[in-house]
Structure 1
Amino acid sequence: MTAPLRPGDPPRLGRYELVGRLGEGGMGNVFLARDPQGRQVAIKVVRPDLSHDDEFRGRFRSEVNRARQVPPFCTAEVLDAEPDHDPPFLVVEYVDGPSLAEVVRRQGPLSPAGLHSMAVGIATALTAIHGAGVIHRDLKPGNVLFALGGVKVIDFGIARAFEATSQHTRTDQVVGTVSYMAPERFDAESSHTVGPAADIFAWGAVVGYAATGRTPFAADSPPATAMRILTQPPDLTGLTGPLRGLVERALAKEPGDRPTARELLDELLTAAGQPAGAAAPAQALPTLRAASDQPAQPAGTADGPPAGAADGAVAAGAVAAGGGNGAPARGRRRWLIGLGVATAVLAVLVPGALFGRQLLAEPDSGAPAVPTGSASGSPATGTAAPTGAPSSGAATSGAAPSGAADTTRAILTGQRRALLHIAEIDRDLSMPFDGVTHVSDGTGPDALFALVPIGVDYMIKSLNPEVDHRPCLGVKVLPEESAALVAAECYPTAATLFEISPVDGTDDKGRPTYQIYNDTYGFVQWSRSRSKIYVEFLGDAPIDTTFSLVDRGPL
């Protein structure tokens, strides 16, 4: 329901005309607006106290970029954002339909068929959201809308920016609604390690509410509700059939005991064909993986972090792009997707998931593409250039060689080895036997890396055979110093996931350059004065270290 604007509300935000209020919450106000073409949109305006916080603006910008990768068929599409506006705001598709909270309040619990359809719709949305590396953090009945054509999940994509901005995050400011918050969200020490499994818990609580008209841990006050979530089993009286078992698993206390969004979707589609009253499957449908894939270590399990993980990776501990009990939610192409009807659903999801990767792989218009093979001008490693590689003369002339864009895309999709060439100093990142990053001339195996796509992020895997287990780069926080890059186990955590985004400019050989950014710790930088690689937030300072990707042949 739309309310009139209040005195003091702005009549416009950027190019949008505000026409009413849709709601308000801990993150800010939501307005109904019109774009220049007259189309209705919803605008979420960030709280004014965050307007001048450089750290928040950087995180807000990062989260918006992630949210734009989510396929919009089951969510409110992200249309625009102004992180530098005062105050910052986010523009999303306006969904004209009642929320689940309104429907249950007016009509009571959903019918069994309507309940299952809604459960599938939300699980589909979470599969897409998690596949883009986003965590919703505030899934609740008010954020599930019944729109023409099906269920739409709204209000995702910027909650992590609020919680991760430490100086503005207190116990009473954690984003979310207590009745739908997972147990790990009440632990102040792990507030930055909340993963997609928290959204699965919220899914279970939302389905329980839709089935019974009450939340599974209902109590007289928020503190009492939180205590029930932490210590008591859910009250699912009235929920029967295959959904009950799935909801019980989703509401497990330990994140690692919950299914992923993909597993939920598979089981829901399978359960749809079971007779009423049949039990839910005891195990999730298997997701086949190539033998080379290793499952991610669950966050928060009793066994603790993987042996040998970097201190920073242990401290961060978040499975940022996957469910709490398995491999990441979205798509390395090595995955052999799904079984039965679920394959048809993922045929819709995967193109959207890979779309952002393709954008990242294309060089900017007019910029020379990344050369392949030894044409980079760096010393050769003894690896033969791939078939069709241009001559060094073609590369150094600045002309875009044939197939260079495809080679760049192959590097970004984890199919080829590469040097991470530091543009500003004409040197290459290396991981020698001591497990700490250095720079080198790119001639040895310590300078070879492979990118491992995880959602919209990457793990950066060393191919140096002299380092045990061929680890990935991870961030380690050093006392009273900037964070360092060190060898870490190849599990997706807040310390091992990096964005690799194109930036303006080229390196010493005319190749397009990229920034490497960790959402929790900041940009990967080179210090001339200290002669070392470090990781740090820059605020409004310009990026002073960029990287190019130099092809070194197939894996």
Structure 2
Amino acid sequence: MSDRLRPGDPARLGGYEVLDRLGDGGMGSVFLARSPQGRLVAVKVVRADLSHDEEFRGRFRSEVNRARQVPPFCTAEVLDADPDHDPPYLVVEYVDGPSLAEVIRQQGPLGAARLHSIAVGVATALTAIHGAGVIHRDLKPANVLVAPGGIKVIDFGIARAFEATSQHTRTNQMVGTVSYMAPERFDTASGRPTGPAADIFAWGALVAYAATGRSPFGGDSATATAMRILTQPPDLTGLGGPLRELVSRALEKDPAARPTARELLDGLLTAAPPVGAGGPAQLLGATPPRSTSPVAGGDERGAGSVPPGLTTGGGAGSRRRGWFTALGATAAVIAVLVPAFMFGPQLLRGQSKPNLAGSTPSGSPATSGPAATASTPASGKPSASPSTSVDPTGAMLAGQRRFLLHVVEIDRDLSLPSHGELEVGDGTGKDALFVLEPVGVDYMIKSVNPEIAHRPCLGVKLDSEGNKSLVGADCRPTKATVFAISRDGKDDKGRPSYAIISEEYGPVQWSPTKREIFVEFLGDAPLITTFSMVDRGAV
């Protein structure tokens, strides 16, 4: 028995023999195990408070199935999962090799040939991941393993199941490594910024880090780094040659201006190859001499130093997919919790950044996003009446203007009468007026109907059969009253439209059969209902 296993750790998980504890993360614990066929694997065990959450199990199952569609040639392969086991677990390939974060920490910035190899390998992985309809969400040097035959990208594909149901991500916090977060991750207008373009931004920051040993937006604090990502160009000093132009394009503030993963890969393969930096082994990203030190600080990658008595033909490594944010951090590059209010609506008001996620496509006039909101006075409170030059959509998102909540697909409006049950109507009367109250990067949706002052905010109500509806609720930020508002095109009047999503319960949808608004566990179901905000004047 390994001296790193603890009392109470499982001896077996399904058909897998547990050999050692590799680390702990936000979602649970990671164990080294042996499969019935004798293969070493990494097994991620879900933490106790999620084990009996049926919604989590459903999301877990759905996202594992999606992650399995990603070709494994440059990613960590998902081998097995049992969401119905107590506790649920995930089995991933055990990859032999240190993380890119460890390589840079031990050896310093990469030379030209090796850097180009890493850039190509990660772009190839992103092409495969995005081609399978998956978004990584947490690409960083700790999630890139330098294996003997090339690089492997880990920690993708199933974190959404965890994030959507876990209280680990609270309404006033964000999880992630700030240095690799795209600007839209901090933009309140985009709600849940998880598009493929965010992975491209992370690729640019990762390659710049590998070339220079520092973040291109490095600040003295997480908040300072976030501000630089939002407002400053990247510092690419020390990065030259063909990569500099591609990295610069990948780090554009506007997601629409960034290349796709396929375009990145094409650009890398057609660029002049780097010269003067070693032979084929380096071009393949060969593994440097591995550190013999044990996993520091509870390695979460799903792989690490092999316990005494076990051999794998090499060093430390890991394998897994990227929507569990629990396998993938080293002591030097850690996922940080940053209070969202530091870069939420208050931070973004008054910033001039018209093309972040949530803004209109390039070439269109900007009609939304916090960039267009009025500047915040020294008191920290928004102006009661924005100037005439302020975009009303941005002011509505900042909680400064009233609006009708228009259901785009049926051309009707929501209302909250005095009895507290949400209705769909023609948008007339005091029942139909709402304002947004920002809560970190999310919102409470508040009625201005004076007759419902005791429960004016929309909240999710569960009945005895598990059906979820929207009703009037107390205006306290809870899992039932806080919603993400995610940009999703335009309505027939050209106004920005949004998906409204409860991180705990799912998206707000319209039922054509029951002719009512309800909240649906999304899973693999399509998002069929969007909302636009029809301006009705200052609060």
- Contact between 1:18 and 1:31, CA under 8 Å: does it hold in 2? yes
Q: Deviations over 1:304-340 (max 9, x none)?
A: 6999xxxxxx99xxxxxxxxxxxxxxxxxxxxxxxxx
CA offset at residue 74 of structure 1?
A: 0.6
The equivalent of 1:239 in structure 2 is 239
**CA gap 1:494/1:110 in 2 versus in 1, 3 angstroms:** farther
The equivalent of 2:521 in structure 1 is 537
Paired residue secondary structure (2:244): helix
The equivalent of 1:255 in structure 2 is 255
- Contact between 1:76 and 1:95, CA under 8 Å: does it hold in 2? yes
Q: Deviations over 1:58-106 (max 9, x none)?
A: 2222111110000000101111112223332211111011111111111
User: Percent of counterpart pairs with the same letter?
Assistant: 70
**CA gap 1:165/1:268 in 2 versus in 1, 3 angstroms:** same
The equivalent of 1:507 in structure 2 is none
CA offset at residue 136 of structure 1?
A: 0.9
- Contact between 1:494 and 1:520, CA under 8 Å: does it hold in 2? no
Q: Which amino acid aligns with 1:536?
A: E
Structure 1 window deviating more from structure 2 (163-172 vs 53-62): it is 163-172
Partner Cα separation in structure 2 for residue 242 and residue 57 of structure 1: 45
CA offset at residue 195 of structure 1?
A: 0.8
Paired residue secondary structure (1:302): coil
Structure 1 window deviating more from structure 2 (45-54 vs 150-159): it is 45-54
**CA gap 1:85/1:164 in 2 versus in 1, 3 angstroms:** same
The equivalent of 1:60 in structure 2 is 60
CA offset at residue 133 of structure 1?
A: 1.2
CA offset at residue 37 of structure 1?
A: 1.4
Q: Which amino acid aligns with 2:228?
A: R
Paired residue secondary structure (1:264): helix
Partner Cα separation in structure 1 for residue 24 and residue 172 of structure 2: 16
Q: Deviations over 1:496-551 (max 9, x none)?
A: 9xxxxxxxxxxxxxxxxxxxxxx954999785xx4789772399xxx9xxxxxxxx
Partner Cα separation in structure 1 for residue 508 and residue 60 of structure 2: 13
The equivalent of 1:174 in structure 2 is 174
TM-score by length of 2: 0.53
CA offset at residue 50 of structure 1?
A: 2.0
Aligned residues: 330
Partner Cα separation in structure 2 for residue 47 and residue 523 of structure 1: 31
Partner Cα separation in structure 2 for residue 170 and residue 532 of structure 1: 29
| Alignment map for 1:131-210 (pairs within 5 Å) | 131-165=131-165, 169-170=169-170, 174-187=174-187, 190-210=190-210
| Alignment map for 1:112-511 (pairs within 5 Å) | 112-165=112-165, 169-170=169-170, 174-187=174-187, 190-273=190-273, 300=357, 302-303=359-360, 480=471
Partner Cα separation in structure 1 for residue 219 and residue 258 of structure 2: 23
The equivalent of 1:9 in structure 2 is 9
- Contact between 2:184 and 2:356, CA under 8 Å: does it hold in 1? no
Partner Cα separation in structure 2 for residue 13 and residue 524 of structure 1: 41
Paired residue secondary structure (1:151): strand
| Alignment map for 1:520-535 (pairs within 5 Å) | 521=507, 530=514
**CA gap 1:14/1:212 in 2 versus in 1, 3 angstroms:** same
Partner Cα separation in structure 2 for residue 69 and residue 240 of structure 1: 36
**CA gap 1:305/1:52 in 2 versus in 1, 3 angstroms:** farther
Paired residue secondary structure (1:234): coil
The equivalent of 1:42 in structure 2 is 42
Q: Deviations over 1:361-388 (max 9, x none)?
A: xxxxxxxxxxxxxxxxxxxxxxxxxxxx
Paired residue secondary structure (1:70): coil
Q: Which amino acid aligns with 1:234?
A: P
CA offset at residue 49 of structure 1?
A: 2.3
- Contact between 2:180 and 2:202, CA under 8 Å: does it hold in 1? yes
Gapped regions of structure 2 (runs ≥ 5): 277-354, 370-408, 413-467, 473-488, 526-539
- Contact between 1:137 and 1:198, CA under 8 Å: does it hold in 2? yes
Paired residue secondary structure (2:62): helix
- Contact between 1:137 and 1:175, CA under 8 Å: does it hold in 2? no
Partner Cα separation in structure 1 for residue 172 and residue 36 of structure 2: 38
The equivalent of 1:392 in structure 2 is none
Is 1:95 the counterpart of 2:79? The answer is no
- Contact between 1:159 and 1:175, CA under 8 Å: does it hold in 2? no
**CA gap 1:495/1:191 in 2 versus in 1, 3 angstroms:** closer
- Contact between 1:525 and 1:535, CA under 8 Å: does it hold in 2? no
Greater relative contact order (Cα 8 A, min sep 6): structure 1 or 2?
2
Structure 1 window deviating more from structure 2 (186-195 vs 34-43): it is 186-195
Partner Cα separation in structure 1 for residue 130 and residue 31 of structure 2: 26
CA offset at residue 184 of structure 1?
A: 1.7
Partner Cα separation in structure 2 for residue 478 and residue 81 of structure 1: 32
Paired residue secondary structure (2:151): strand
Partner Cα separation in structure 1 for residue 169 and residue 189 of structure 2: 12
Paired residue secondary structure (1:164): helix
Partner Cα separation in structure 1 for residue 183 and residue 136 of structure 2: 16
The equivalent of 2:27 in structure 1 is 27
**CA gap 1:84/1:94 in 2 versus in 1, 3 angstroms:** same
- Contact between 1:522 and 1:538, CA under 8 Å: does it hold in 2? no
Partner Cα separation in structure 1 for residue 16 and residue 498 of structure 2: 36
Q: Deviations over 1:104-154 (max 9, x none)?
A: 111111110110111010001011111111111111111111113211101
Partner Cα separation in structure 1 for residue 522 and residue 140 of structure 2: 35
Q: Which amino acid aligns with 1:69?
A: Q
The equivalent of 2:451 in structure 1 is none
Structure 1 window deviating more from structure 2 (80-89 vs 172-181): it is 172-181
Q: Deviations over 1:259-312 (max 9, x none)?
A: 111111111111145889xxxxxxxxxxxxxxxxxxxxx9825326999xxxxx
Partner Cα separation in structure 1 for residue 180 and residue 491 of structure 2: 32
Partner Cα separation in structure 1 for residue 522 and residue 119 of structure 2: 42
Partner Cα separation in structure 2 for residue 43 and residue 533 of structure 1: 40
The equivalent of 1:69 in structure 2 is 69
Partner Cα separation in structure 2 for residue 171 and residue 139 of structure 1: 23
Partner Cα separation in structure 2 for residue 87 and residue 165 of structure 1: 16
CA offset at residue 46 of structure 1?
A: 2.6
**CA gap 1:273/1:107 in 2 versus in 1, 3 angstroms:** closer
Paired residue secondary structure (1:120): helix
Partner Cα separation in structure 2 for residue 113 and residue 133 of structure 1: 31
- RMSD after superposition: 4.2
Partner Cα separation in structure 1 for residue 268 and residue 168 of structure 2: 39
**CA gap 1:301/1:259 in 2 versus in 1, 3 angstroms:** farther
Partner Cα separation in structure 1 for residue 206 and residue 220 of structure 2: 18
